Structure 1
Amino acid sequence: MATIPNREAIGLIHAPLGRDAQIAASLLQEAGITSKAASDLPTFVASLDDNVAFAVMTEEAVRSADLRSLASWIEDQPSWSDLPFIILTARGGGPERNPSAARLLEVLGNVSFVERPFHATTFISVARSAMRGRRRQYEARLRIEALDEGERRLQTALDAGRLGAWELDLATNELTTSTTCRRIFGRSPEDPFTYEDLLAATHPEDLERVQAALRASIATGSDHAVEYRTVWKDGSIHGAEIRAQLHKDRAGRAIKLVGVSADITERLKAEEQQRQLNEVLEERVAERTRELEEAHALVMAEVSQRERAEEQLRQAQKMEAIGQLTGGVAHDFNNLLMAVLGNLELLRKHVGDDIKAIRLIDGALQGAKRGASLTQRLLAFARRQDLHIGPVDLAGLVMGMKDLLTRSVGSTVSVEVVVPDQLPPVSADANQVELALLNLAVNARDAMPDGGAIRIDLRETEQISATDALAAGRYVVLSVADQGHGMDEETLQKAIEPFFSTKELGKGTGLGLSMIHGLALQLKGDLKLASAPGKGTTAELWIPISTSSVPEQEQSQTAPDDAANAVGPKRILLVDDDVLIAMSSADMLSDLGHEVFEAHSGQEALACLADDGRFDLMITDYSMPGMTGAELAKAAREIAPGLPIVIASGYAELPPGLDLDVARLGKPYTQDQLAQEILKLTAAGDRS
């Protein structure tokens, strides 16, 4: 509630002599203010609580009274509260000439004096002023409670991500750290941990690099990010990653760094093991090569071929390892984004007209959606994103994007699109191909800082014989060519590696081409790059031709906002082993008007179905310990054969050949997507 209603905020009166209490109550009633009278001071103090908007007292009633209990109550008020007091004094009895009134001012604090006899209008005006002041205090209380709740949610997110919070005052070098942050550096919560302790815990070989990164962030204002080794008190070596943003005062002076820390010990160990493995492989290759060279100068052709094969094997192993790591990180981050996006969407509905809160929430939503976009790139590289493959009219797709591409590359770059007639449809995911084309166009623009032309064309071709990258068959080739500075052979070989970029720091993620390459492999196609310094770059995305025709578009009959109303309230069993995700999803479903029952494992969900099978729908996570979502779906169908089921997953990890009549929902999903999925399943159930 934005304010406290009149029926809850009252005026408390203590005027035991004469008719003052009756007169004050009557005047307050005329002003629409509820009041309550206390006959003695102990009763008055006992009646004080947060619902008292102001107090009315006569000066003679408390002139010689023991005010210690009242003073104690005033002292113990919460930070938001400063209860207004209206003191009725005799004529000429104001604090300037009345020591007793001055004493009350000292004890009570927030006091307004009204000299008797007074006009009714004067008294009501003072009472309404006190009421307005109290309402502002109530509003301050609500803002404080909202801030406290926001801090709690932030701490929950930090705990879920096992991130430690820290803050460094650049003027005093005073370091403030959370318990998790101290634990990352091998300290217990009660241990002192100063900035000097932080530097002392840094591995000597990494200390200069850490301090140089800090100086660079302060000098340039860029985000602070560094990974390094730490030395705990017991001498053990660990890994830490710190990220922070620089805060400045109004004069533009750097005043503090605020950021988070994470334990990357296991990752560093894995990288070290991979490095050692690579060294062993390289030593074996070198040793074998020497043996072959000593044996006979002629099997050389065979040695060269073996070296190429082993290099390809090492590269494949490297890319597979990075792909597994990337896919796992993206999957876990998707789960965190689920909680963040779901809670922000619901919070956005309940902030009313608070413009500042709306702006802050919208900013957080945009950041979270950018994070979701990044995870999709990571999953594309790892070839684990959920594709919706079907026949796609690639010519129509490219022509439909021409205006968007023109706006995206700017006025200094022209876009030429060449599309032949009668191109067959391809087997692809239209949304992912659109994203790939946009990435290629933006890369082409960035390669031409002084302007130029981008040529986009389509052609049908046939791969006569199978290669390592492509099967024999017919393909449509989407080509994007620029007139930029181009790449040398060494750069070209690294172009599709994840996080590799020729752009300056902060200008690119290095995931664009790796994402497109991952998409091409998932589509059973290929990405081919041709470039030379000063000659520009041509990127070709080869996509297999579809054996099906492009279906006509179906018009949606229900808008997302109306989806919940269209199906009516449902009894839904929600299954997710992550309590944070389950809580967020349950809140979204409840906000849509559904009755939600939570289970945090497959066994718990089956018990719910066995005890009370009257559910309209089950929504389950796929990746759960003990029993996957697919296994749960099979078991649930034995209990409730007609139960509609939705399996939610961060990537397409359902095993091939799994014959399940279930709906799929990719994480992170929005409340609208959830509502639409429920609508589709309900509509399908009604038709059946």
Structure 2
Amino acid sequence: MNEVASTERALILAPHGRDATVACALLGEVGIAAHACPDLPALCTALEEGAGLLILAEEAVRTADLQGLVAWIGAQPPWSDLPVILLTLRGDGAERTPEAARLTELLGNVTFVERPFHPTTLVSVVRTCLRGRRRQYEARARLVERERLLADLADERARFETLVEHLPVGVNLMDRNGRTILSNPAFRRFLPDCVIPSRRPDGEETWIGYDEQGRSLSRDRFPGACALRGETVSGIEFVHHPAGGEPVWTRVSGVPVRDATGKPAGALTVIVDISDQKAAQEALQRLTATLESKVQERTRELAATLDQLRDEIRDRERAEEQLRQTQKLETLGQLTGGVAHDFNNLLMAILGNLELLRKRLPADPTTERLFDGAMQGARRGATLTQRLLAFARRQDLQPQAVDLAGLLDGMKTLLERSVGPRVVIRIDARPATVPALIDPNQLELAILNLAVNARDSMPDGGTLTVTVDEAPVPVASGLPPGSYPYVSVRDTGTGMDEATLARAIEPFFSTKGIGKGTGLGLSMVHGLAVQSGGAFRLSSVPGQGTLVELWLPKATTPAQAAELPPAPAADVSPAVVLVVDDDALIAMSTVDMLADLGHTVLEAGSGVEALELLRSGQTVDLLLTDYAMPGMTGVELAQVARAMVPDLPVLLATGYADLPEGVVADLPRLAKPYTQHQLAVATAKLLAETARTSAHAEPSGGLHLEPQTGIHR
């Protein structure tokens, strides 16, 4: 309900009979808003929202507790007198019934309407009451406006008086007879009695003024006297000689104040102390002789400021260059991540089909050699995509609490074999270092990459120092302040110049010869650090060596012992596996590998198609789905499928690591590209777990037909 409707509505209290219904209907027909209240408390509540009048049945208020209503009426502001229409029985007017007189006394502005009444009578009385109520609202608006204007006027007067009081110049307002109406302290400092010089007996002796030609002014030409005659005079300089004081230079102006007819009604005089200005002019004249030295001094200051500005510009250019490098790396990361994902899919098809093809061709040394070459090339491609994904921060990480000192101790022999006998390895690992939250396998690979890079930078031998410790993180790292565990690798090699250092972590950038490196080592290490929530710092000095620092997040749990290698795939019964992938090449390879393992394979090209198979009642023992599919992702498909078949095991195949957090925590994942053995291990593990779970459950009594090995598309 809008404000107008609520402030002009009729509130009706007639809980007995049909009076409230009839009154609401009559008023509604003529466009008057009405609201029937079931009891007196509801009426008082509705009053808080606004009302134009009250219509009360006498029997509803005669014996009721009117304290709340009377209190509301008594608390009305002065402009308000809420109209009340009291519906009485015939002959119950105030002049006949003491009770009616009591209600009039309590409720104030009461109009009696005897029942039964003609509809026109009620409508007429209500309209009359509303007209009176509207006049009350108008009076309120006028009172509010009047109070606002008075407040504004008081504020303006206060601001004007404050302004005049605090003006640094003397101000004096006079009437037409020269009597002071208003003056400020600055004026009274010159003339304590507020009598203008032209009306003082000693005015021409104590106030000596000069015209533009330097001649002394007579008192009738003083600014105050001229302003009282209606003339405007400004900027006349006077020397004021106060009694017992030093002479003061002043500038005096006079402005006439006119009435509504334009005739002079007074004058305003202004006195400005210009002693400082005169003193400044004299000082300026004295400084003219030494202007050259001041100019030279200022020139030196400007030169220093210019040097500072140049330094700031250089700092800004360095910051902008760092920002451009960051944006370039981010763009390269997006590009390489997309390329690596697509390349993963291609390698998936190549590896899978090569494995299947090897089983179907006769044994032959030449064929075996060709197959081995093809498999090695495909595996190198898989390694390359993993490095690309690491740079793009999309590799599949398995972070856990890692004892950095223990990890480094276990790598010592591998590092020594990797760098050779000409490089001395020093390991400085503090055992008390807090565990880091990192993928231990990827961290080992990163440290090994750094060690190999260090070896290549020391062709004549040198020292490689690997340090594990905990320290406050540098501000330039971009991490929140605090203490972090870190791994640093320092060499005494040839180092890098600024140009090489600026491009060192770009993918495919390498200073090694052709065929001696992919240019992805530092890119992978950088991507691992950032994806893990840490920071990567690289510094180098030509001829002195290079320092690489990996600042890692702290683990909140103790470090765990190294896990045993995964067990070989268990023998499981043939099962029905539903493979979902929008890439036909990948789907074909996966389906063929599963079929070769003895499973019955169903194939779907999308999440919607897979759900249709499940709804059809088709038995499915395992769901193997790709993650990145148009329309419905593998995660979304798993959620819907498990809602349909709660115990359905799901295996998520993906080359990405940046899946939505918290959604796939309970989904086992198979990283692309995978081999048939990896596929067999993953599916066997899930099927075995499902079988163990089913063994503890009660028999269902239903039928489960033994599937036939094959492929169903």
The TM-score, its normalising length taken from structure 1, stands at: 0.54
**1:555 and 1:481, CA in 2 relative to 1: closer, same or farther beyond 3 A?**
closer
CA distance in 1, matches of 2:434, 2:692: 34
Post-superposition offset of 1:484: 1.1
**1:407 and 1:587, CA in 2 relative to 1: closer, same or farther beyond 3 A?**
same
8 A Cα contact 2:477 2:536, kept in partner: no
The reply to whether residue 671 of structure 1 matches residue 679 of structure 2 is no
Q: Which amino acid aligns with 1:513?
A: L
Q: Could you tell me which residue of structure 2 aligns to residue 487 of structure 1? A: 496
**1:423 and 1:305, CA in 2 relative to 1: closer, same or farther beyond 3 A?**
closer
The reply to whether residue 573 of structure 1 matches residue 582 of structure 2 is no
Q: Could you tell me which residue of structure 1 aligns to residue 416 of structure 2? A: 406
Q: Could you tell me which residue of structure 1 aligns to residue 556 of structure 2? A: 547
Q: Could you tell me which residue of structure 2 aligns to residue 500 of structure 1? A: 509
CA distance in 1, matches of 2:546, 2:454: 8
CA distance in 2, matches of 1:401, 1:430: 11
Q: Could you tell me which residue of structure 2 aligns to residue 630 of structure 1? A: 635
Q: Could you tell me which residue of structure 2 aligns to residue 611 of structure 1? A: 616
CA distance in 2, matches of 1:306, 1:396: 43
Q: Matched residue of 2:418: which SS? A: helix
Q: Matched residue of 1:343: which SS? A: helix
CA distance in 2, matches of 1:313, 1:450: 37
8 A Cα contact 2:477 2:537, kept in partner: no
Q: Which amino acid aligns with 1:408?
A: S
Post-superposition offset of 1:304: 4.7
CA distance in 2, matches of 1:552, 1:415: 25
Which whole-Å deviations, capped at 9, do the CAs of 1:575-607 have from their partners, x for residues lacking one?
111111111111111121111111111111111
**1:306 and 1:637, CA in 2 relative to 1: closer, same or farther beyond 3 A?**
same
Q: Could you tell me which residue of structure 2 aligns to residue 456 of structure 1? A: 466
**1:577 and 1:407, CA in 2 relative to 1: closer, same or farther beyond 3 A?**
same
Q: Could you tell me which residue of structure 1 aligns to residue 626 of structure 2? A: 621
The reply to whether residue 582 of structure 1 matches residue 592 of structure 2 is no
Q: Residue 595 of structure 1: which of 600, 620, 628 is its match?
A: 600
CA distance in 2, matches of 1:323, 1:619: 29
Q: Residue 526 of structure 1: which of 521, 532, 535 is its match?
A: 535
Post-superposition offset of 1:391: 0.8
Q: Could you tell me which residue of structure 1 aligns to residue 245 of structure 2? A: none
The reply to whether residue 322 of structure 1 matches residue 332 of structure 2 is yes
**1:532 and 1:310, CA in 2 relative to 1: closer, same or farther beyond 3 A?**
closer
Q: Could you tell me which residue of structure 1 aligns to residue 652 of structure 2? A: 647
Post-superposition offset of 1:303: 4.5
CA distance in 1, matches of 2:643, 2:534: 40
Q: Could you tell me which residue of structure 1 aligns to residue 66 of structure 2? A: none
Q: Residue 516 of structure 1: which of 517, 525, 540 is its match?
A: 525
TM alignment of 1:151-166, pairs within 5 A: none
Q: Residue 658 of structure 1: which of 658, 663, 684 is its match?
A: 663
Post-superposition offset of 1:553: 4.5
Q: Could you tell me which residue of structure 1 aligns to residue 373 of structure 2? A: 363
Q: Matched residue of 1:460: which SS? A: strand
8 A Cα contact 1:351 1:358, kept in partner: no
8 A Cα contact 1:486 1:531, kept in partner: yes
Q: Which has the larger radius of gyration?
A: 2
> Which is worse superposed, 372-381 or 636-645?
636-645
Q: Which amino acid aligns with 2:399?
A: I
Q: Matched residue of 2:538: which SS? A: strand
Q: Could you tell me which residue of structure 2 aligns to residue 346 of structure 1? A: 356
Which whole-Å deviations, capped at 9, do the CAs of 1:426-478 have from their partners, x for residues lacking one?
10001110110110011011001122232222122233x86552222332221
Q: Which amino acid aligns with 2:637?
A: L
8 A Cα contact 1:634 1:660, kept in partner: no
Q: Residue 682 of structure 1: which of 674, 684, 687 is its match?
A: 687
**1:507 and 1:555, CA in 2 relative to 1: closer, same or farther beyond 3 A?**
closer
Post-superposition offset of 1:317: 2.3
8 A Cα contact 1:613 1:640, kept in partner: no
Post-superposition offset of 1:530: 2.4
Which whole-Å deviations, capped at 9, do the CAs of 1:28-86 have from their partners, x for residues lacking one?
xxxxxxxxxxxxxxxxxxxxxxxxxxxxxxxxxxxxxxxxxxxxxxxxxxxxxxxxxxx
CA distance in 1, matches of 2:370, 2:489: 39
Q: Residue 384 of structure 2: which of 368, 374, 380 is its match?
A: 374
Post-superposition offset of 1:526: 1.7
Q: Residue 310 of structure 1: which of 316, 320, 323 is its match?
A: 320
Post-superposition offset of 1:682: 2.5
**1:473 and 1:317, CA in 2 relative to 1: closer, same or farther beyond 3 A?**
same
CA distance in 2, matches of 1:415, 1:309: 36
Post-superposition offset of 1:490: 2.6
Number of residues paired by the alignment?
Answer: 389
Which whole-Å deviations, capped at 9, do the CAs of 1:481-538 have from their partners, x for residues lacking one?
2221111223222211222212122221111111101111011212222221111112
Q: Which amino acid aligns with 1:571?
A: V
Q: Matched residue of 2:552: which SS? A: strand
Q: Matched residue of 1:544: which SS? A: coil
CA distance in 2, matches of 1:588, 1:555: 27
Post-superposition offset of 1:353: 2.8
CA distance in 1, matches of 2:479, 2:633: 34
Q: Which amino acid aligns with 1:319?
A: L
8 A Cα contact 1:372 1:668, kept in partner: yes
CA distance in 1, matches of 2:374, 2:682: 25
**1:494 and 1:467, CA in 2 relative to 1: closer, same or farther beyond 3 A?**
same
Q: Could you tell me which residue of structure 1 aligns to residue 486 of structure 2? A: 477
Which whole-Å deviations, capped at 9, do the CAs of 1:159-194 have from their partners, x for residues lacking one?
xxxxxxxxxxxxxxxxxxxxxxxxxxxxxxxxxxxx
**1:541 and 1:408, CA in 2 relative to 1: closer, same or farther beyond 3 A?**
same
Post-superposition offset of 1:615: 0.7
**1:526 and 1:581, CA in 2 relative to 1: closer, same or farther beyond 3 A?**
same
Aligned residues with identical type, % of pairs: 58
8 A Cα contact 1:419 1:459, kept in partner: yes
Which whole-Å deviations, capped at 9, do the CAs of 1:358-398 have from their partners, x for residues lacking one?
11111111111110000011011111111101111222221
8 A Cα contact 1:474 1:544, kept in partner: no
Q: Which amino acid aligns with 2:447?
A: L
Q: Which amino acid aligns with 1:536?
A: G
CA distance in 2, matches of 1:555, 1:508: 32
Which whole-Å deviations, capped at 9, do the CAs of 1:15-34 have from their partners, x for residues lacking one?
xxxxxxxxxxxxxxxxxxxx
> Which is worse superposed, 499-508 or 343-352?
343-352
Cα-Cα RMSD: 2.3
Q: Matched residue of 1:514: which SS? A: helix
8 A Cα contact 2:477 2:535, kept in partner: no
Post-superposition offset of 1:332: 0.0
Post-superposition offset of 1:399: 1.5
Q: Which amino acid aligns with 2:508?
A: F
Q: Matched residue of 1:357: which SS? A: helix
Q: Could you tell me which residue of structure 2 aligns to residue 125 of structure 1? A: none
